[in-house]
Amino acid sequence: MFPTYNSTDSEGFTFMSLCHQPKSRGNVSLASSSIDDQPNIDPAYLEHPDDVNCSIKAIRLGLAIIDTPKFQELGARPHLPDFKECRHLPQDYHDDDYAECVVKVAGITGHHPSGTCVMGEDWLDSVVDLSLRSDKLIKPILY
């Protein structure tokens, strides 16, 4: 399912999937009181088992698709990446441990770090003013 990364003499295709309601929750905190310091960001990707299972189900769906007659006519077969972190496991996506290992090593996010909060002129109905200033917040947490 993964094309060879550095080969120009072979063709391939990639199934991309995204679990739209992840249960893993990361956090953002201030590194210091200095505006020049970058915040501490821990996205905690794939920390919740349901998120891992969702990704494994997507892999298994991809396997079922390439096992259809039309894909088999094309000679489609899954690519088993040679990740050193997964070499101790049976190289088979039907093996739960191997599938989980590949998900955790090669998984990427489709989410973009962002957030929203109410902005406005009235402090009672907004978190920040039109210049992104807050008032009387000791420990602001904006979601």
Catalytic residue numbers, as ranges: 112
Instruction: For residue 106, report the phi and psi dihedrals to the nearest 5 degrees.
Output: -110, -5
Q: Encoding tokens for residue 128?
A: 């920040």
User: Whole-angstrom Cα distance, residue 41 to residue 121?
Assistant: 30
User: Whole-angstrom Cα distance, residue 81 to residue 49?
Assistant: 22
Q: Which residue has the tokens 């406005």?
A: 120
* Three-point CA angle 113, 81, 106, nearest 5°: 10
